[in-house]
Amino acid sequence: MSIQWSHQQDVKANPYWRFNSRVNFESDNNGTTNLDPLNTQYFQNNFNSDINLTRSFPGKPVTMGLKAGLKQNSVSGNMDLDLPTFNLNVTRFFPFKALRKNKIGGEKFYEKIGFTYNMEGKNRALFKDSLLNNRQFDLIGKQFQNGIRHSAGMVAAFQLFNQTVTLSPTINYNMRMNLQSIERSYDALNNAQVIDTLRGLGISQDLNFSAQLSTALYGYYRFAFDRDMRMRHVITPRVNFRYVPNMSSYITDNVGVNGAELTYSPYERSLYREPSARAQGRIEYSLGNTFELKTRNKRDSLTDFNKFMLIDALTFSGNYDALADSMRFSNININLRMSPFPSLSFVSRGVYSIYAYDDKGRSFDDFALNNGQGLGRLLNFDFSTTFTLASKESKEIIEENQQRISNYWDGDFQYFAMNPHEILDFRIPWKFNITHTWFFNQNRDTLSFSDERFTQNQNIALSGDITFTERWKIGFNTSYDVQLTQLTQTRISLTRDMHCWQLSFFWNSFGQSQNFLIRFNGTAAMLQSAKVEFRKPPAFL
């Protein structure tokens, strides 16, 4: 039996309720047995079905949804059934604003505190398609896992010291309610571990606190040899404190083979699993710098100064984990970007360690300064030179993207802040980049650290994209390893701009990794969720 059903409700039909379906069901989980002479699913291995009902409340930050879904895979013979999934989502709201009766004047600090909440209840089963073909519904029923997950968050942004410092505290709490758990025990007779499945309500939870402080400092320097020349220095320090207490349900007992001690979670096979048991107390820091040279314009009376950016970005970042057992300081990441001309840019990245090392290059828990090894050592370093061929307007857009993304502190954003020419922007009709990169690495794999302490390599990459219609763009990226004298990979991409959505196709045609990827994502959240929408190479062009 084959069922295909697609339904899309008109937006104007009902302002509160939405119903849609996309059903593609094969009872035997195999598209080759379809009797349709024009069978379009003959080579298809995946069949997905979704039926959704959502309820919104205009004027309120609340939405509810109910979903029934089935994922089929004919290669593995698995069926993944959600029957049903209920979701309640409350977007950010500010309850303390209602306490204020007089609306005149600025907001009070407590009015800026916002809350979010999400609840998901799911009944899920993963089973072999043979159980459905043989009508063994009782065995299918035993495969179901169910539970409820609650997530609540608080976020705020306060301006301190006459709005010169921004404090952004956040609190996130998660509670998982599973109706299945496991218990491990040791069978001394057979010298084996026994795992029993328990039925009943079990609760696990986690909580994390974070607070970020950020500001901007401005400095101006004059030069003794030219009083009309100034250098503008902008420093953007950021410090983020993150604390995650250990609230896990992990159990340590002598339940391993031969009675060995083992640490496990009772919910490691449940529907909603809990994170690791380790507590974290991390202080993350970042120090950004930009340097701009200003000279007085003596030829144009309308413009006082000519501006020239000496250093687009010079950042230092790392973290300190106060609850780690050893080596609490992370490596220091150093990034530098200079673009003396709109078509030319220099990017350098380095990783620096402050810990001491032995004769084989292995770090240990002591500072290099205490062992007569100076302030530390440079573990790896690379230097890239990129020449970009594009129109003058396109180069201005590339520079605009660099300045905009540099305000974000996420690691993926930092990559594109250093390499803005790799951002896919439909406002740019065409661009072409050629990049030469020199890599320098500390060799920590040799048996004797004194021999071949450093390794180096070079790479040449060509990349670019062309907008051949208003909404279609094709891109390419190929790289050549100078040491291996061969192409490492070649990637071709095809992207469709769909206003609020974007459809992309990526194909690695040859090289060390040959694959393809089709991705459909919303563009409205592109600069809000870096880990989802921005991806580092080689996954992103």
Element (H, E) at 223: strand 217-223
Over residues 231-240, the pLDDT tens digits come to: 899 999 999 9
pLDDT for 498 beyond 80: no
| DSSP, res 512 | S
d(CA 24, CA 433): 44
Please report whether residue 410 resides in a domain: no
State the sign of the Cα–Cα–Cα–Cα dihedral 267, 272, 273, 278.
Answer: negative
Please report whether residue 184 resides in a domain: no
pLDDT at position 536, please? 35
Over residues 69-113, the pLDDT tens digits come to: 888 887 778 888 888 999 999 999 999 888 887 777 778 888 889
Residues 6+ apart with CB under 8 A from 335: 313, 314, 315, 317, 347, 348, 349, 350, 414, 418
Residues 6+ apart with CB under 8 A from 152: 115, 116, 117, 118, 172, 173
For the record, the structure tokens of 87 come out as 């979701």
pLDDT for 529 beyond 70: no
Please report whether residue 362 resides in a domain: no
Choose the weakest-confidence range: 11-20, 338-347, 439-448, 517-526. 517-526
| Buried b or exposed e, range 368-388, using 16+ CB within 10 angstroms | beeeeeeebbebebbebebeb
Please report whether residue 91 resides in a domain: yes
d(CA 468, CA 493): 13
The answer to whether the CB of 204 falls within 8 A of the CB of 248 is yes
pLDDT for 446 beyond 50: no
pLDDT at position 23, please? 86
Please report whether residue 34 resides in a domain: yes
Distance of CA 276 to the CA centre of its chain: 19
Choose the weakest-confidence range: 77-81, 282-286, 419-423. 419-423
Confidence class of residue 422 from pLDDT cuts 50, 70 and 90?
Answer: confident
The answer to whether the CB of 474 falls within 8 A of the CB of 522 is no
The answer to whether the CB of 382 falls within 8 A of the CB of 351 is no
pLDDT at position 541, please? 29
Q: 30-36 long-range CB contacts below 8 Å, 24 or more apart?
A: 30/74, 31/74, 34/2, 36/2
Element (H, E) at 193: strand 192-215
d(CA 541, CA 534): 10
Q: What is the mean pLDDT of the chain?
A: 83
pLDDT at position 146, please? 92
Distance of CA 417 to the CA centre of its chain: 15
Count of the separate structural domains present in the chain: 1
E-only strand ranges, 94-191:
114-128, 144-155, 158-160, 165-187
pLDDT for 464 beyond 70: yes
Over residues 245-282, the pLDDT tens digits come to: 989 899 999 888 888 888 999 999 899 999 887 888 99
**What count of other Cβ atoms lies within 10 Å of the Cβ of residue 255?**
20
Please report whether residue 248 resides in a domain: no
For the record, the structure tokens of 55 come out as 């309820």
pLDDT at position 400, please? 81
Residue 127 sits at the vertex; the CA angle it makes with 125 and 133, to the nearest 5 degrees, is 120
Rounded to 5 degrees, φ, ψ at 478 are -135, 145
Can you give the three-state secondary structure of 41-96, one letter per residue? CCCCCEEEEEEEEEEECCCCCEEEEEEEEEEEECCCCEEEEEEEEEEEEEEEECHH
531 residue type, one letter: K
> 338: closest CA among 262, 223, 418?
418
pLDDT at position 499, please? 67
**What count of other Cβ atoms lies within 10 Å of the Cβ of residue 138?**
8
Over residues 102-134, the pLDDT tens digits come to: 777 778 888 889 999 999 999 998 888 888 778
The answer to whether the CB of 505 falls within 8 A of the CB of 516 is yes
pLDDT at position 301, please? 58
The answer to whether the CB of 491 falls within 8 A of the CB of 462 is no
* pTM of the predicted structure, to 2 decimals: 0.68
Element (H, E) at 444: none
Domain that holds residue 23: 2-109+122-142
User: 32 or 440: which carries more pLDDT confidence?
Assistant: 440
488 residue type, one letter: T
Dmax (CA) of the chain? 95
Average pLDDT over residues 288-304: 76
Residues 6+ apart with CB under 8 A from 429: 391, 394, 466, 467
Please report whether residue 330 resides in a domain: no
For the record, the structure tokens of 445 come out as 């794999």
Confidence class of residue 171 from pLDDT cuts 50, 70 and 90?
Answer: very high
Please report whether residue 78 resides in a domain: yes
For the record, the structure tokens of 233 come out as 């220095």
Over residues 334-377, the pLDDT tens digits come to: 999 998 888 899 999 999 999 998 877 788 899 999 998 889 88
